[in-house]
Structure 1
């Protein structure tokens, strides 16, 4: 009995493949559309896509074109070909601005951009593009049923940019480029004022400013004459120390912060006793 069932399944599969191959070679665009629609409904998106690709030019200007273009665009999305999917969905939205599929097509175009966003350690150009497209979608469809998901995706992308900026500051600190670390931390605080990484960023800024000050030369000649570079940097580090203590009274870094604060005070005390 099982042997018989296997034979039936094999025959159905062969017939299906034969029908598909025949449709690919056929010049009957209606037959291609019908089979493509059927394959799409079965979740066979790659096969449906090949059939759609053959007939898209032939259906331009025809009543069925709108449905075909949506199925064609979404087949790329389902195949995880997000760059092409985004491009095709945007074409669909531009070509059919009154379509009932306009909202979902616009959302999937933006989500395709989101899917192209790389891990935070890589260049974040695609992430910024995705953020812009998702925000544009929200602006165009503020009452959309996809609003919650769009906001969630934006939050994820924002945090990715935060992690990227934080990792840059941390890397500068690790390689002892303390001026760059301090500047990167300052930029981070301005760009991401409510970040969950704020505490770690302020600690890295303090640590960098402290090490920069402690290892500074005493005097530096400038256009305005000699300046006490070390003292100026110690005072800056002291400001960062005070800011950190005020913002994070229960931080896990408090022990290290206090050690830096004490060392800064000891160094500054030397200047107060000089005549």
Structure 2
């Protein structure tokens, strides 16, 4: 009896699957856009996002600009989102927000649009154009919906992207410092590190950046022409003071103290000559 029930159940499942597939194939070939849209939503609700999207792509041009197409365009955008096509999803969500300003889904769509751009942001080592764009989209959402239920997530995304740009800026400044020994461009490295410290005062990389600034300032001073050497040595000494003031027990203390000793030794010649 149990085996018979299992066979009947299996038959029903196969039959339903066949009917569902037949309906989908019928919708693909149909000229009835309302039918296509209905089947597309059914596929979406079943988690068959690629199939739903294929149907939505067919009917979207016919519904564009029509006020009764709000539901269809929401699911259309969401289908792109669920299939991880974030460029297209972001565009469709933004289009939805613009087309249906009174929709109850407007706030969610605006957030999902911003989230799509967040997901397009690459790792910090690559070009950050999409990260800048995502920050702009998130800021717009935060300003437009300050009491949104999505605000905590939007702020989290915003913070994450800023930290990515911060790491990118630090790695660039650090690279200038690392290359300075080969190119003797200590002034370039120094400027990059100073800009980074000024632009990101609360950065977790501040201690490391301040030591690299000291190291670059010291090396630039030591290789300077006589007319500029004293001034640059004194500046290097101020960068040491800034470092130990910021972090008295810095992990770079031993190296920094050695640099300071070299600076003071060089400065003695100017003290003795005065």
TM-score (norm 1): 0.91
**Hey, what does 1:188 align to over in structure 2?**
196
**Hey, what does 1:109 align to over in structure 2?**
113
Q: Which runs of 5+ in 1 are unaligned?
A: 219-227
Contact 2:65 2:99 in 1 (8 A): no
TM-score (norm 2): 0.92
Q: CA deviation at 1:58?
A: 2.0
| Matching of residue 213 in structure 1 with residue 209 in structure 2 | no
Q: CA deviation at 1:15?
A: 3.4
* Equivalent of residue 140 in structure 2, options 127, 136, 139: 136
Q: In 1, distance between residues paired with 2:69 and 2:8? A: 43
State the secondary structure of the residue aligned to 1:120.
coil
RMSD over aligned CA atoms reads 1.7
Q: In 2, distance between residues paired with 1:193 and 1:91? A: 38
| Matching of residue 78 in structure 1 with residue 86 in structure 2 | no
**Hey, what does 1:244 align to over in structure 2?**
243
For residues 121-179 of structure 1, give each alpha carbon's deviation from its aligned partner in whole angstroms, at most 9, with x where no partner exists: 11111111111110110000000001000000000000001000000011011111321
**63-72 or 238-247, which deviates more:** 63-72
Contact 2:89 2:116 in 1 (8 A): yes
**Hey, what does 2:129 align to over in structure 1?**
125
| Matching of residue 158 in structure 1 with residue 170 in structure 2 | no
Q: Which runs of 5+ in 2 are unaligned?
A: none
Q: CA deviation at 1:206?
A: 0.9
| Matching of residue 260 in structure 1 with residue 264 in structure 2 | no
| Matching of residue 232 in structure 1 with residue 236 in structure 2 | no
Q: In 2, distance between residues paired with 1:273 and 1:165? A: 42
- List structure 1 segments (4+ residues) > 4 angstroms apart after TM superposition: 1-11
**Hey, what does 2:186 align to over in structure 1?**
178
Q: In 2, distance between residues paired with 1:211 and 1:8? A: 80
Q: CA deviation at 1:63?
A: 4.6
Q: In 1, distance between residues paired with 2:67 and 2:101? A: 15
Q: In 2, distance between residues paired with 1:142 and 1:63? A: 28
Q: In 2, distance between residues paired with 1:48 and 1:4? A: 29
Aligned length, in residue pairs? 266
Q: CA deviation at 1:84?
A: 0.7
Contact 1:169 1:180 in 2 (8 A): no
